[in-house]
Copies of this chain bind each other. A is one copy, B any other.
Amino acid sequence: MTLIKSLVNQDEFVGFYLLKELEVKQTNGTPPKDYFDIVMCDSSGQLSAKYWDVSAADKETFFPMGLVKIRGIVQTYRERLQVKITRIRKATENDGVSLTDFIRSAPIRPVDLVYTIKQVMASIQDDGIKTLVSYCVNKVDEKLMHYPAAKTHHHAYYAGLAYHMVRMLEIADFVCKQRPFLNADLLKAGIILHDIAKPEEMIAQLGIVTDYSVQGKLLGHISMASNWITEAAIHSGIDLQSERVIALQHLVLSHHNLGEWGSPVQPQTAEAVALHHIDALDAKLQMVEDALDSLPESEAWTPMIRGLENKPIYRTKL
């Protein structure tokens, strides 16, 4: 079976893939014919594909997020690779393939990521902070096991959100040792809470964000998380005016650093400054790593990356 990442122009191939997107469209001809406009993917990447001369039965058979066996040819269309599908059928139980083999995932098992996060939560020494964080983590519940951290920007894959948290917690642990004046409880809590409302801001399955929720568009995950902390405090009997509630809300509200990046206030505590820069360091390096990972070995430059000043990354030969 051929990984999508390794396909090159003119390849003929057969293999199992996931139908990440599938739309029925019509050709311009007279009479117009139906065809499938598809995005097929596996764990190594994704490709756009066409299946011409779609039958009525086909339209009943194939749906987005379904597993299929595809025979196809790789062509070039507008300087990008595109698959012309010559045969397609649904995967069956006998094929021995499972959905999770075909999606991009964090490199660490979700169960281990969540275990790490819970360990860190348990290590928070201030009981009030620990309670507030637990309440918010419980709200997202099992979504932490699989939600991505963003639609396309960074960590946009299965368990990407938990992976982003864990990596940030590791850096924070190091920085707190370098700079003992930082309040480790606050910084840990800030990291766990800063994107905690993303599972309600975005609608995702299998690590793929299909849309934003109405609440997500109208409030944004930053304000949602601030509201959750209010909710957590009320339910836990913690004073809404207490410094721990305010400090946590400040961490969440300020973590995008600037108004034009979505933060209504700018970082004004040591931990808020640390949170923003640890978030940036981890997110930007992940964008770089993901882009280089999916770059064919024959190439030196990734596509332009929106989150990196819209610049491509060059793979040095050193």
Contact = CB atoms under 8 A, between A and B. Distances in A.
Contacts of A214: 243, 246, 300, 314
Given A52-B30, A218-B247, A246-B219, A318 B75 contact: no
A76 interface: yes
12 contacts: A179-B285, A218-B269, A223-B249, A226-B227, A231-B240, A243-B318, A267-B311, A268-B313, A268-B314, A269-B314, A270-B292, A273-B308
Interface in A173-187: 174-175, 178-179, 181-183, 185-186
Interface residues of A, number: 92
Contacts of A269: 218, 313-316
Nearest to A316: B247
B264 A288 contact: no
Contacts of A230: 227, 230-231
Interface of A: 23-28, 30, 32, 50, 52-53, 75-79, 84, 126, 129, 167, 170-171, 174-175, 178-179, 181-183, 185-186, 214-215, 217-220, 222-223, 226-227, 229-231, 234-235, 240-241, 243-244, 246-247, 249-250, 253, 257-271, 273-274, 277-278, 280-281, 284-285, 288-289, 292, 300, 308-309, 311-318
